[in-house]
Chain A
């Protein structure tokens, strides 16, 4: 998908002025963190499981080449095929060719963020294929021609009225005056409509939450069951996923599954967790005849062995954005690309480049909430700071900020000069603000005073006062 991450400040302005979005986000920030807290409180071992999750993923990443080779060998041993894609373009080409080879006209899709990342739908549609998203949220976004605003709750920004309007606009075969007032009406209409698509599809494309080296299985986790119908009914199942998702064993994936749903939606476990291993076997009465796994790199391998490697532990639960006060304020679209929130602020620059996505790791107060809920303990603020270092090294920060900080640091490194300057500046500011105690406007402080008053200093600095009091006491 096309990035607007460079326009983050403009995106933010628009988001903050969107009343529907604000309403949805208010509900979101009250709901998701509370549900996670309840689930975590019900499992005393949760914090220890986070350590286990980190350990498992660290081990897998330290042996990523070996586990990927093992995964591939096991997929092939079970009659499946593995394809490797270095870039988004290669991934699109591979999937398109597989669809063509299957003689496909219609493709159903389960929810896949990697597919958003590589821009798959546009490519398939340009080649004349009908592509149908089957996750309810994704389906709604597809007919609205919008991107997901959250990695697990893609349509959380919309109201049911908006969706009802879209359904009336698109589903023209149904009576226009039908009832679509309740969420249940909308769900029923979508279920009936998509049922036909599941049955007609030639190819089903899903993502994967995990890959298991031991068995050559791909794993999807859903609540709707759409991913299962997508991959079970058509003749060909294509799994489009990325290289960092491989874990060693069924035991390892079980531990990560204990973390995933609780962190994501606050469920004890998602409704469906499906392990897929190759095409249908002799004697099977259903299931795909062909099974393909497309392993996408798209910038991930370059992070391995660097200070950014820890982000590859991510299991895409969304807990960081569920708890992020910045995400709560602006929603997912403002980030301008596939992965919003704290994880996006770390991943997006890795894929898009720091020049395009530089705002994202800067748009954080480093409040640390994301790290405190991450099921695999990714130090997200630290990794955002690494991006800021890269930005600083490449001289990409705004000049006013760079100059301001340089000047401040120059003084701060010269305590005597700093002290003298501070005495003069605070005396002046303190005197000017003495009566009211604050400033509504100040030169060069527009960023501050556009939102809040600027409290006036008391007038003399602590070090100045302390020295003179000490002087009086002792001399």
Chain B
């Protein structure tokens, strides 16, 4: 069952000013800081105090490669880094899902760390669902002139129940026309190391995805995960498509300072 992210803390609610740790995610940190700043803006506008502890990666690549020891080491760093936060929010369903769904399993036989992992898991959220469900955000002041289509990234959709929340907020953005692509819920073929281990399968999947995106006639593709976005943008650009690719947070925050993913600075 997808886990609808409902607030589990009574210490903070929509009227107080919670301390939110931004789990920036390694791909945003390295490739697209604009997404991080958009997340900070959205969280601050939603009445949160944002902190950014020094961090690297949640450990998902190690976890999905069968490397439990490195996963545990990296997870411990994350758990420590976010100890003082009321909530931890990531602009990624995949990384938030790693913490929420998988950290407890990483430490299931570790009496010392299991409770800490559970505590972090319970207060970790994907950005858009945190805004809508925990902070009660229903409208944003942003403006984006364009026809956009939204890809549902797998972890956000199936591990965390992120589906309607981004669409709801996008419909409230001035100028946005939202069109659905066929098979929006079908995987784009990224899958972390999968895309380099099995490039041909990944290529077929992202080729199908690119075709579905282009069939909508939308001028902009949005999603909530950098991995999927880099994969889809890379394929769209390879095929010469003019579709602009951005993280949904950029549009919601109204921050278009960076060129679309995979496009140069003019």
Q: How far is the CA of A196 from the CA of B238 in the complex (A)?
A: 58
> Which of A47, A368, A448, A451 neighbours the largest number of chain B CB atoms within 10 Å of its CB?
A451
In the docked arrangement, what's the CA distance between A326 and B197, Å?
13
Verify B187–A454 contact, CB threshold 8 A: no
A462 touches B65 (CB 8 A): no
Q: How far is the CB of A421 from chain B (nearest CB, A)?
A: 10
The CA-CA distance from A436 to B264 in the complex, in Å, is 4
Q: A329-B205, A365-B187, A447-B195 are in contact. Are A412 and B74 (CB under 8 A)?
A: yes
Interchain CA distance A426-B37 in the complex, whole Å: 17
With A368-B159, A369-B158, A393-B66: A325-B199 Cβ-Cβ less than 8 Å: no
**CB atoms of B203 and A452 under 8 A apart:** yes
Q: Which of A175-183, A202-210, A270-278, A383-391 contacts B (4 or more CB under 8 A)?
A: A383-391
Cα–Cα distance between A47 and B1 once the two chains are bound (Å): 9
Q: Which of A13, A16, A390, A461 contacts B30 (CB 8 A)?
A: A461
CB-CB contacts of B6-27 with A at 8 A, as 1s and 0s? Answer: 0000000000000000001010
Interface of A: prevailing SS: helix
Q: With the chains together, A460 CA to B34 CA distance in Å?
A: 10
Is the beta-carbon distance between B65 and A405 smaller than 8 angstroms? yes
Query: Contact at B66–A390, with CB atoms within 8 Å?
Result: yes
Docked Cα-Cα span, A320 to B196, in Å, equals 23
In the complex, A451 Cα to B233 Cα: how many Å? 12
Asked if residues A450 and B199 are in contact (CB atoms below 8 Å), the reply is yes
Chain B residues contacting A385 (CB-CB under 8 Å) are 63-64, 66
Given contacts A326-B201, A366-B154, A463-B55, contact A409 B263 (CB under 8 A): no
Asked whether, in the complex, the Cβ of A448 is within 8 Å of the Cβ of B196, the reply is yes
Residues of A within 8 A of B186 (CB): 325, 367, 369
Is A6 an interface residue when CB atoms closer than 8 A count as contact?
A: no
| Residue B180 lies at the interface, judged by CB distance under 8 Å to chain A | no
Instruction: State the CA gap A12–B205 with chains docked (Å).
Output: 13
For A372-410 the 0/1 string (1 means CB < 8 A from B) is 100000000010010111111100010001000110110
Q: Is B204 an interface residue (CB 8 A)?
A: yes
CB closest residue in chain B, given A391: B66
Question: How many pairs, one residue from A and one from B, have CB atoms within 8 Å of each other in the complex?
Answer: 223
A392: chain B residues at CB < 8 Å are 65-68
- Shortest distance from the beta carbon of A88 to any chain B beta carbon, whole Å: 28
Interface string of A212-247 (1 = CB under 8 A from B): 000000000000000000000000000000000000
Residues of A within 8 A of B47 (CB): none
**B158 partner, pick from A368, A408, A413, beta carbons under 8 A:** A368
CB atoms of B74 and A413 under 8 A apart: yes
Contacts of A411 in B (CB 8 A): 56
Complex Cα distance A39/B192, Å?
34
A362 at the B interface (CB under 8 A): yes
In A40-57, which residues have CB < 8 Å from any B CB? 47
Interface size on B, residues (CB 8 A): 76
Nearest opposing residue in chain A for B182, CB measure: A30
Q: Are A413 and B234 within 8 A (Cβ)?
A: no
Which residues between 424 and 464 of chain A lie within 8 Å of chain B, taking CB atoms? 425-426, 433-438, 440, 445-448, 450-458, 460-463
Q: Which of A413, A455, A462 contacts B33 (CB 8 A)?
A: A462
Residues 345-371 of A, flagged 1 when their CB comes within 8 A of B and 0 if not, give 000000000000000001111111101
Please, which residues of chain A bring their CB within 8 A of the CB of B177? none
Does B66 lie within 8 Å of A434, measured CB to CB? no
Roughly how many angstroms separate A235 CA and B230 CA in the complex, as a whole number?
63
Q: Give chain A residues whose Cβ lies under 8 Å from the Cβ of B149.
A: none
- Asked, given contacts A415-B55, A437-B262, A462-B37, whether A12 binds B187 with beta carbons under 8 Å apart, the answer is no
Chain A count of residues within 8 A CB distance of the other chain: 70
Complex contact B56–A418 (CB within 8 A): yes
* CB-based contact B231/A452 at 8 Å: yes
Decide yes or no whether A419 CB sits under 8 A from chain B: yes
CB-defined interface of B176-193 with A at 8 Å, one 1/0 digit per residue?
000000000111011111
Interface residues of B in 206-257 (CB under 8 A from A): 206-208, 230-231, 233-235, 237-238
Residues in A whose Cβ lies below 8 Å from that of B54: 415-416, 419, 463
Known: A329-B201, A365-B187, A372-B158. A452 touches B238 (CB 8 A): yes
| Chain B nearest Cβ from A20, distance in angstroms | 16
Give min CB distance, B256 to chain A, whole Å.
13
User: How near does chain A come to B254, taking the closest CB pair, in angstroms?
Assistant: 18
- For A418, list chain B residues within 8 Å (CB): 56
Tell me, in angstroms, the Cα distance from A9 to B263 when the chains sit together: 32
Residue of A at shortest CB range from B36?
A462
Contact check, B65 vs A434: say whether CB atoms are below 8 A apart: no
Beyond A388-B65, A413-B77, A418-B56, whether A401 also contacts B199 by CB under 8 A is: no
Q: Tell whether, in the assembled complex, residue B24 and residue A463 are in contact, meaning their CB atoms are under 8 Å apart.
A: yes
List A contacts of B205 (CB < 8 A).
325-326, 329, 365
Q: A319 interface residue, CB < 8 Å from B?
A: no
Q: Give the residues in chain B near A419, CB-CB below 8 Å.
A: 54, 56
Give chain A residues whose Cβ lies under 8 Å from the Cβ of B264: 433-438, 456
* Bound-complex Cα distance A405 to B159 (A): 25
Q: Do B62 and A405 touch across chains, with their CB atoms under 8 A apart?
A: yes
Question: For the complex, is A73 an interface residue (Cβ under 8 Å from B)?
Answer: no
Output the nearest chain A residue to B63 by Cβ-Cβ distance: A385
Q: How far is the CB of A374 from chain B (nearest CB, A)?
A: 12
Q: Please, how many angstroms separate the alpha-carbon atoms of A61 and B260 in the complex?
A: 53
Could you show 18 A-B contacts with beta carbons less than 8 Å apart?
A: A364-B194, A367-B158, A368-B158, A369-B158, A388-B66, A389-B66, A419-B54, A422-B29, A422-B30, A433-B264, A436-B264, A438-B263, A445-B196, A450-B203, A451-B207, A451-B235, A466-B36, A466-B52
- Measured CB to CB, the residues of A under 8 A from B are 9, 12-13, 16, 47, 325-326, 329-330, 362-369, 371-372, 382, 385, 387-393, 397, 401, 405-406, 408-409, 411-413, 415-416, 418-419, 422, 425-426, 433-438, 440, 445-448, 450-458, 460-463, 465-466
19 additional A-B residue pairs with CB within 8 Å, beyond A369-B158, A406-B70: A9-B200, A47-B1, A326-B201, A329-B201, A363-B201, A365-B189, A388-B65, A401-B65, A405-B67, A409-B70, A412-B26, A413-B74, A437-B237, A450-B199, A450-B203, A455-B31, A455-B230, A460-B33, A462-B33
